[in-house]
A and B are shown apart, each in its own frame.
Chain A
Amino acid sequence: MARGTLFDRWLIDLATTNPPLGREEWARAMRAEFETLERGRTGWALGCLSALLGWRLRSNLGFLLAFVAVALCLDRLSLLIVFPLVIRLHFWLPHSELGPLTYAMSGATLAIASGAFAAVRPRHWPAIGIGMTFFNQVGSLVWFFFVFGKTVSIRRLHIMDAPIDVGIGACLGYSLIGALIGQSLARAFRRGSLKSPASA
């Protein structure tokens, strides 16, 4: 059997291991041609990888669009939920606790959204957590500049009432924890360990 460099092997493994449903035979076909190649293996493997990315993108397009749309709008959506709650609570709680509570509830919506998407795609929970934070911040910034224009410098922006790096870190924490919980719950349900004895 023709030998390839470790890098070529790694590329073709990446491209042909675990292809999307319905593309298994084609992945095997691409790999079989790779095995017969004497030269140009890296280019062939890279092409296979780009084919796989195209298939993955097409088969997950609905999920990706929903994910990006929710993440971009989550900041605005969470205000619709969080503010009415805070307004109700302000009769019961001291004013000094309302600010942190608002941010905690915003973080919770971030975690819940990440958890919901990670429950659908448990294997990708880290990417979901990171992606949720990224698109959420992009959405917030777009909204912020749409409302306030260019009169506010990014350096003066605060996220969750903290400097940008700390605020983004906090958002990332909420998202990753939510995604981890979502994937754990989804896996537990699929294994059946969370089903009631009656339904088992």
Chain B
Amino acid sequence: MVTRSRRLSNQALAVLAALSGEDWRYGLEIATATGLKSGSLYPLLIRLSERGLLESRWLEPERPGRPARHAYRMTGAGRAALREAMRPQTEFKLQGAT
């Protein structure tokens, strides 16, 4: 049986690439790195998070009086997906094939 692998969009790949370091990154930093607006960035972050490609957590504010901020980091699955997307390959693969 032949299945089509779900490809990540260029924007999603840009977000994953922006998160390729080990550090947690904030939404604003990702927006600056990718050039995405908040209206595109957050739906993307949600999708990537739901697919288990990134994880998120609340970080304490750096300065008193500021709100806690949501930060993001790529998961192992995200790294694998990014590697896979960067490698030239066929779009179709046989299910069960290693």
Contact = CB atoms under 8 A, between A and B. Distances in A.
Nearest to A31: B67
B67 A35 contact: yes
Nearest to B44: A51
Interface in A11-61: 23, 25-26, 28-33, 35-37, 43-44, 46-51, 54-55
A49 B26 contact: no
A47 B38 contact: yes
A51 B66 contact: no
Contacts of A32: 67-70
Contact of A30 (B27, B40, B66, B68): B27
Nearest to A50: B39
Interface residues of A, number: 23
A1 interface: yes
B18 to A, nearest CB: 15
A36 B31 CA distance: 14
A134 to B, nearest CB: 27
Contacts of B7: none
A72 to B, nearest CB: 29
A35 B66 contact: yes
A119 B28 CA distance: 41
B37 A30 contact: no
B43 interface: yes
Q: Which 8 interchain pairs have the tightest Cβ spacing?
A: A47-B38, A29-B70, A47-B39, A50-B39, A47-B37, A32-B67, A33-B27, A32-B69
Interface of B: 26-28, 37-43, 45-46, 56, 65-70
Interface of A: 1, 23, 25-26, 28-33, 35-37, 43-44, 46-51, 54-55
Given A32-B67, A33-B69, 11 more contacts: A26-B42, A29-B27, A29-B42, A35-B66, A35-B67, A36-B67, A36-B69, A47-B38, A47-B42, A48-B39, A49-B39
